[in-house]
Amino acid sequence: MFDIHVILQNSPGTLSRLTTLLGRHGIGLEGGGLFSFGEQSHAHFLVEEGERARAVLEAGGIAVEAVNVPLIRRLP
């Protein structure tokens, strides 16, 4: 599991473009969120194939800030 971090502009359709690109390439989102401030949003999503997700997004013109291995713990 990998966390992809993307900075998006706060404009209609931007998040849809990201999710559509990933979906068309068979990359599902396992979880995540979007945090907005001013004209930008920081999106963090969990995916199974981090580097593949990065390649798909960057080929589609969306810059990926980072791909990290998150610390995941099951809660009792």
pLDDT digits (tens, 9 = 90+) for 16-48: 999 999 999 999 999 999 999 889 999 999 999
d(C-alpha 37, C-alpha 21), whole Å: 24
CA 75 to chain CA centroid, nearest Å: 24
pLDDT value at 75 more than 90: no
Looking up tokens 């610390």 gives: 71
- The SS3 of residue 22 is helix
Say what angle helices 50-59 and 14-24 make with each other, to 10 degrees.
Answer: 120
Threshold 0.75, pTM exceeds: yes
d(C-alpha 23, C-alpha 9), whole Å: 20
